Structure 1
Amino acid sequence: MSAAATTTKSWMLPVVSATYGYALVQKATSVAVLGIAAVILFAYLDANYLRQEKRFRRLYKAVAEGKDKIATFSLNPDDAMPPGDKSTEEWAKWMPRWINRLFPGPAVWKSWSVGPFYLALIVAGVVVAVRTDVAT
């Protein structure tokens, strides 16, 4: 899973550099906004990779400790969750379950490898967009 996050970041950096650079040179605010959208998309992908990695680490830990009755060769991370306790996975109980399954919770977004990294790139994109808008 960590290799997938690294690949996501390695694909994102040239895309964002190219869009922000083109936006600055050509004074195209719409291209800067496209770069911001790309950062948001890559951040979502990276956050999902991190969420999955955390779920599988919880499964590994439960199997290694041998405390829970988990089926042999189970690859379902939901098996490591205590019955009736979905609090570690469902970050907003008032939301429908499908939203909880689609969007990672705040703990994932606040992670050092997701939050600060992508937030800095979004701020840079906003600066580029404002600068190109002012220059035109």
Structure 2
Amino acid sequence: MLEFETFKTVVASTPLVSIDLVVRNQASEVLLGLRNNRPAQGYWFVPGGRIRKDERMADAFHRLVSGELGVEATLEQARFLGVYQHFYDDNFSGRDFSTHYVVLGYELTLDIVPGQLPDDQHCDYHWFTVEQLLSSEQVHQHTKDYFLND
């Protein structure tokens, strides 16, 4: 982990590369978490996170699935959805500069019990139908973007 001020400089100066996890259950519902932190704080969002320097994508994927969902899965089990860009007016530390992510979207099918998931990044989890998430004002647009061509 970078020191706080160093990470602020990085976020203020460069795009971050991340992985988003579009998790569906057997009923094709989508798992979303209510974001605890900036950016996208207070919105329903897919799990995910940034790739660390010198971390292989497969290792980052495994770390994120384990840390965000509390289960084990490999990159080979997922379907690549594409590359997305996320722009936010705020950042993890406040509103004094923006955040830019280059996001690799991956889809997994997992039957997870929402009440048993880690709460570091999300304070609540819920299964949504695609129709529900697309019509909700509480679901962030960047999450909706994964389903616009569904």
Higher helix residue share: 1
- Whether the TM-score (by the shorter chain) exceeds 0.5 is no
Normalising by structure 1, report the TM-score: 0.23
Higher strand residue share: 2
Normalising by structure 2, report the TM-score: 0.22
Which structure: larger Rg? 1
